[in-house]
Structure 1
Amino acid sequence: MTTHAVRLEAADAAVTVVSTERAVTDWSARYFGPWWKAAGVPPESVCAGPLVTAEVDPDRYADAALEVTRAPHTSTTYAKAQLLLAHDQAAGVIRGVCPEEALAYRSEPGVANLTILGRDPGPVATATARLAREVMRGTLLRDGWSVLHASAVVQDGRVILTFGKKGAGKTTAALAMAHRHGLGLLANDRVFVRPNDGGGVDVLPWPSAAAIGLGLLDALGWFDIARERLTGGEALHPTQDQRVTEALLAGLCEPLWEDGKELKAQVFPDQFVRWFGLPLATGGKATVLVFPRIEAGAAPALQERSRSLSDHDFMSGKTEDRYPDVFELARVDGGGTAESRQEVARRLAALPHHCVVLGHDVAANADFLAKITESD
């Protein structure tokens, strides 16, 4: 049986995904792509962790699930599904099973190895990418990196960071600048940051599917491209609500809402490049901070209000409840150590800050943002 391996690299960290199921390693290669320099490697070259091994094997899954349920275990919620956990303190092993998704896990935190077993390729591939990212996050956090809740674009190594709560306009600002002015997209929602020896802050991408509202897709000129791709048989990320897919296929670009939350298209990282011609960036140095606010009918303008970073701008444990560190892959706060966060915040505070109001005209927003950040 042939084994496949994909290595992910970011800064000095590396994680390898191994599976006999080609669909699993292909999914990770696609998901992390150029952001984390995902590349196939000879399986025989993989001799040490961090390592994520994933197999589609119904019998092994059943045995692993039974092992968890027969042992003393607890129940929690992970990725919106029930997860049963059993700890073997003597062996240094954490076992888990998610009955809803038919997935079983075996984590060895001490040697940074994680095994995933399942019945079907789709859930196994999705879980493998999710947890490979968590292994990488743990490696980077322990090496002094932190995680900021921010979008980011890069021009000639200069990173423009955009902050704000959901709906503030982080995605709108980043995609507008990248699309209009050819900047590299570094991140849609969060980034890794670390103080460097030169007194600045280095920035790395956090690969993820990007949530883009139907109205923004249309404003960017991407709605018809996405519709054509879907009509041709391609698909967006499987977490996308079916109602969004149906609206795209029907040519309906009005925003969709449910309980006050907008339902959005979920774009794979590689689709930014293949579908929309948007380049992806792999890193840079923080140079300017933007704090946008979207207001219908507004012309882009600077605001007199001031804004500084706070603990809420870091992806700390309080904001990471969808993916708690149940397998002890990070073993530090999900946003980074307190020392790292404090130093990053101190250094970013010294950079230019721009509080802006933006309207719904993507081109006007992009040109305005490019003008106010070009000299920083």
Structure 2
Amino acid sequence: MVTHTAVRITAASHHVTVASSTPSITDWSRRYFGPWWQATSSEAGADAGPLVAAGVDETEAAQLAQLVTDYPHDVVTYANAPLLHTRDDDGCVYAHQPDSSLSYQYQPDVLRIAGTEPVPVALAAARLARELLRSQLLADGWHILHASAAVRDGSTVLTLGEKGAGKTTTALLLAQSGWQLLANDRVFVRPDGDGGVDVLPWPSAAAIGLGSLDALGVYDEVRARHLAGERLHPTQHERVSQALTDGKRDPIFASSGKELKPQFFPDQLTTWLGLPLAVSGKAGRIVFPRIAPAAAPAVEGRGRELVDSDFFTAGTEDRYPDVFGLAPKAADDEVRRVLADRLTALPSVSVALNHDRDASAKLLRQLTS
């Protein structure tokens, strides 16, 4: 695979390089990571460090796929699609996703991706570049917290809770009230040397429900851009695109019961929704929201202690299983306990919010001023 373009992705002094002979693939990673991490043009050479070499090459994709399908292999669901994978005697991992015609080969510090179309390859390259950086950050003491986050003057409000509790809504309301959005679902956290907790973003497409867009007052802008031909992230379900075309504002659900939501590129949070973004912060307080449509926004008491289920671990990662063996051999449970203790000691509050944007935002401003 010949490479002509490369972009280096950096977070907390760790990096990975994405290289390709197709400029749109490296441009994709630059767009995807640039708003929250650092993405700069680079040279893909011997000193490039961890490398994702990705390209559109039907022959290579077929050859790599055959190295999986012709031998005993396992099957997992990876990024919502079946992934076949096997490991040879030398530790090289081969994988194949038939639905998207993607094939992979991983040896330490070098991941090759071959496919038949640029967009699926670009998606996979960005996804695996993030996984390579995730492995470095985890080895350096960072952990992943299931939280949304907003930052002002360096101080970060973390919002925690179960699925559907209102974590993203809370962070977006703060971002509409003068804060900077740092994350909408996951954040990296690590104890600092002064008794605090550092926070970094987890770059990803931002999923925001149709009802939430309406409640936040931005549905009409999103629909207008959609009708004008602008496109959201390609992982968005076609039923969501059709709902925007038809002007539907009510939530829509898959047969599994999962809500289907518009999917935004990180930069579209600013260009479409007018939300400023943050690249880092220090944990300052925690909000545990719940959405109560029929109730007035109100404080419901102090927040709870953090528990293991608030963190993503190898055992709880449900979307990106570690088929390539990138994760550190063992997580540092003691660091996670320190994080839980430090975060639990922060000012925290449980709140009920409703679909009245102004009233809910007013309560959050009062609590964070």
Tell me if the contact between 1:300 and 1:365 (Cα under 8 Å) persists in the aligned partners.
yes
The aligned counterpart of 1:49 is: 49
RMSD over aligned Cα atoms = 1.6
Q: Retained in 1: the 8 A contact 2:301–2:349? A: no
Correspondence for 2:239 = 243
**3-state secondary structure, aligned to 2:235:** coil
Deviates more, 1:321-330 or 1:248-257: 248-257
Residues 313-322 or 11-20, more deviating: 313-322
Partner of 2:354: 359
Q: Within 1, Cα distance between the matches of 2:328 and 2:322?
A: 7
Distance verdict in 2 for CA 1:176–1:100, change over 3 Å: same
Cα separation, 2, equivalents of 1:118 and 1:108: 18
Q: Which residue of structure 2 lines up, in the alignment, with residue 222 of structure 1?
A: 218
CA contact (8 A) 1:6 1:28 kept: yes
Structure 1: how far apart are the matches of 2:174 and 2:303? 22
After TM superposition, give the deviation of residue 34 of structure 1 in Å.
2.1
Give 2:307's match in structure 1, choosing from 302, 306, 310.
Answer: 310
**Partners of 2:304 and 2:344 within 8 A in 1:** no
Task: Report what 2:201 is aligned to.
Answer: 205
d(CA) in 2 for partners of 1:313, 1:299: 27
Q: Which residue of 2 aligns with 1:9?
A: 10
* SS across alignment from 1:141: helix
Shift of the alpha carbon at 1:28?
Answer: 1.0
Q: Deviation at 1:37?
A: 1.3
Instruction: State whether structure 2 residue 123 is matched by structure 1 residue 126.
Output: yes
Shift of 1:267: 1.2
Match of 1:253 among 232, 249, 252: 249
Deviation string, structure 1 residues 54-98 (Cα, Å, up to 9, x no partner):
0110011111112223334333332232222221233x3111112
Contact 2:17–2:44 at 8 Å: present in 1 too? no
Please give the per-residue CA displacement for 1:283-315, whole angstroms capped at 9, x wherever unaligned. 010010100111012221111364111111001
Alpha-carbon spacing, 1:348–1:306, altered in 2? closer, same or farther (3 Å): closer
Q: Which residue of 2 aligns with 1:97?
A: 96
Residue in 1 that maps onto 2:33: 32
Tell whether the 8 Å contact from 1:157 to 1:284 is kept in structure 2 after alignment: yes
- Is the counterpart of residue 324 in structure 1 residue 355 in structure 2? no
| 1:73-92 to 2 correspondences below 5 Å | 73-90=73-90, 92=91
User: What CA distance in whole angstroms lies between the structure 1 residues aligned with 2:212 and 2:285?
Assistant: 24
2:32–2:126 contact (8 Å) kept in structure 1: yes
2:270 matched residue in structure 1: 273
Q: Any idea what SS the aligned residue of 2:34 has? A: helix
Shift of the 70–269 alpha-carbon distance from structure 1 to 2, 3 Å rule, reads same
What residue in structure 2 maps to residue 195 of structure 1?
191
Q: Give, in angstroms, the shift of residue 209 of structure 1.
A: 1.0
Q: Which AA in structure 1 matches 2:187?
A: V
Distance 1:99 1:258, change over 3 A: closer
Distance (whole Å) between structure 1 residues aligned to residue 72 and residue 259 of structure 2:
41
CA contact (8 A) 2:93 2:107 kept: yes
**CA 1:81–1:255 in structure 2 vs 1: closer, same or farther (change >3 Å)?**
closer
**Alignment partner of 1:346 out of 329, 333, 341:** 341
Residue 107, structure 1, aligned to residue 121, structure 2: no
Q: Percent of counterpart pairs with the same letter?
A: 54
What amino acid is aligned across from residue 168 of structure 1 in structure 2? A
DSSP-derived class of the 2:283 partner: strand
In the alignment, the residues of structure 1 paired with residue 11 and residue 127 of structure 2 have an alpha-carbon distance, to the nearest angstrom, of 16
| Distance in 1 between residues matched to 2:199 and 2:131, nearest whole Å | 18
Q: Which amino acid in the other structure matches residue 330 of structure 1?
A: A
Q: Measure how far apart 1:100 and its partner are.
A: 2.0
Q: Give the TM-score normalised by the residue count of structure 2.
A: 0.95
Aligned to 1:245, the other structure's residue is in SS state helix
**SS of residue matched to 1:272:** helix
| SS of corresponding position for 1:303 | strand
CA distance in 1, matches of 2:3, 2:286: 48
SS at match of 1:35: coil
Q: For 2:319 and 2:60, how far apart are their aligned partners in 1? A: 27
Q: Is the 8 A contact 1:9 1:36 kept in 2?
A: yes
Q: In the superposition, relative to structure 1, how do residues 244 and 305 fare at CA in structure 2: closer, same or farther (>3 Å)?
A: same
TM-score (normalizing by structure 1)? 0.93
8 Å contact kept, 1:117–1:124: yes
Return the offset for 1:38. Answer: 1.5
Question: Aligned partners of 2:220 and 2:182: how far apart in 1?
Answer: 24
How many residues are matched?
367
Conservation of the 8 A alpha-carbon contact between 2:270 and 2:276: yes
Does the 8 A contact of 1:205 with 1:282 survive in 2? yes
Residues 113-147 of structure 1 show CA distances to partners (whole Å, capped at 9, x for unaligned) of 21111111111111111111111100100000000
Q: Name the CA shift for 1:253/1:9 in 2 (closer, same or farther; >3 Å).
A: same
**2:185 is paired with a residue of what secondary structure?**
coil
